Amino acid sequence: MKPLKLAIQKSGRLSDDSLALLRACGIRFNNGMGKLRTEALNFPLELFFLRDDDIPEYVTDGIADLGIVGENVLYEKAQPLPIAAKLGFGKCRLSLAVPKNSGYRQLSDLNGQRIATSYPRLLRSYLDKQSLRADIHEISGSVEIAPSIGLADAICDLVSSGSTLFTNGLREVETVLQSEAVLVQAQSLSAEKMALLNRLLFRIQAVQKAQQNKYILLNAPNDKLDKIVSLLPGIKSPTLLPLAIEGWSSLHSVIEENQFWEVIEQLKAAGAEGILVLPIEKMIF
Ligand code: PRT
Ligand code: ZN
């Protein structure tokens, strides 16, 4: 069977999370450190380690079947590749920023200004949509210093925590694009490779679901159970087991990470005791 060829970033912000995702999917491989490619030991998958900027092209050219890359790179390269899955890591935004003492008040203030960026295509299409004319200076790195050395009036760069902008005396004013890492696939894959991709996607979804949920165990008096169960949507319905103490039960269910604290407070108020919350490794429906 021909393996699926997956291109991931060799070394950079997406590398560790890309490898961790594959490991969480149960795919083992010899550490690819220093190598350009490696084969998985227990899944028909071959990994290519590349610069992130090259990944969309490798997939378009069919050298790789799949790639993990930031949406920012994908859209800047304008390679029309289908997204097989959003991966939830590498989150950042492409933003416009101006010196913090600038008189900027609204987007139209950028008319006729010089904007430094490594994302000229994304910036151009954003400005065009707003019918703005600005002078785009493409630079490949250290965009954040452009205003202080007099190269530009504003910048358009990736931001995550905002600390780079802050330390360079810049103020974020508009978001051009929200981005995260995505799994892209080649336009046409053989039936055999599609079947492998579907197996991989099934595993990715199980990992993502597990990351979004927690397993919860709690004890409660039987007369409070109805109220407590109504607070826990769970998978289908929660598991109830009698405790050794008369009139009490242990309840097991699944709770979404993003509503976790709110629901815990409500459970306590409704009479739940001894609440345990555990991470889930995989979730399969
Ligand atoms: O060598 P190679 O070309 O493969 O790597 P690279 O240096 O081009 O990319 P890398 O590893 O820096 O980033 C890879 C991908 O990570 C990007 O394409 C984004 O999709 C994603 N990502 C997520 C980020 C950031 N967050 C990020 N904060 N990429 C870059 N940054 C930079 C940003 O450019 C700025 O310099 O971090 C700085 C801002 O960070 P904060 O936290 O100070 O706001
Ligand atoms: Zn790069």
More confident site: 75 or 236 = 75
The pTM of this model reads 0.92
* pLDDT class of 155 with cuts at 50, 70, 90: very high
Give the model confidence (pLDDT) of 40-98 as tens digits.
Answer: 999 999 999 999 999 999 999 999 999 999 999 999 999 889 999 999 999 999 999 99
Residue 153 structural domain: 92-179
Last residue of a domain, one of 191, 210, 229: 210
9 in a structural domain: yes
Ligand 1 atom with the shortest distance to the CA of 70? 20
Ligand 1 atom with the shortest distance to the CA of 10? 4
- Cβ atoms of 174 and 115 closer than 8 Å: no
Asked if residue 254 and residue 140 are part of one domain, the reply reads no
Asked if residue 218 and residue 140 are part of one domain, the reply reads no
Residue 70 C-alpha to ligand 1 middle, in angstroms? Answer: 9
- CB distance 167 to ligand 1 below 6 Å: no
284 in a structural domain: no
123 in a structural domain: yes
Last residue of a domain, one of 179, 196, 225: 179
Residue 147 C-alpha to ligand 1 middle, in angstroms? Answer: 20
Last residue of a domain, one of 134, 161, 179: 179
* Average pLDDT of the chain, as a whole number: 95
Asked if residue 205 and residue 174 are part of one domain, the reply reads no
Asked if residue 136 and residue 60 are part of one domain, the reply reads no
Among protein residues, the one whose CA lies closest to atom 22 of ligand 1: 90
Sign (positive or negative) of CA dihedral 81, 84, 89, 92 = positive
Ligand 1 atom with the shortest distance to the CA of 15? 11
* pLDDT class of 186 with cuts at 50, 70, 90: very high
Asked if residue 96 and residue 40 are part of one domain, the reply reads no
250 in a structural domain: yes
Asked if residue 13 and residue 34 are part of one domain, the reply reads yes
In whole angstroms, give the CA distance from residue 5 to residue 64: 5
Among protein residues, the one whose CA lies closest to atom 26 of ligand 1: 92
Q: For 45-57, give one letter per residue: b (16+ CB within 10 A) or e.
A: bbbbbbebebbbb
41-45, 241-245, 255-259: segment of lowest average pLDDT: 255-259
H/E run at residue 164? helix 163-167
Give the model confidence (pLDDT) of 19-33 as tens digits.
Answer: 999 999 999 998 656
Q: For 126-164, give one letter per residue: b (16+ CB within 10 A) or e.
A: bbeeeebebebbebeeebbebbeeeebbbbbbbbeeeee
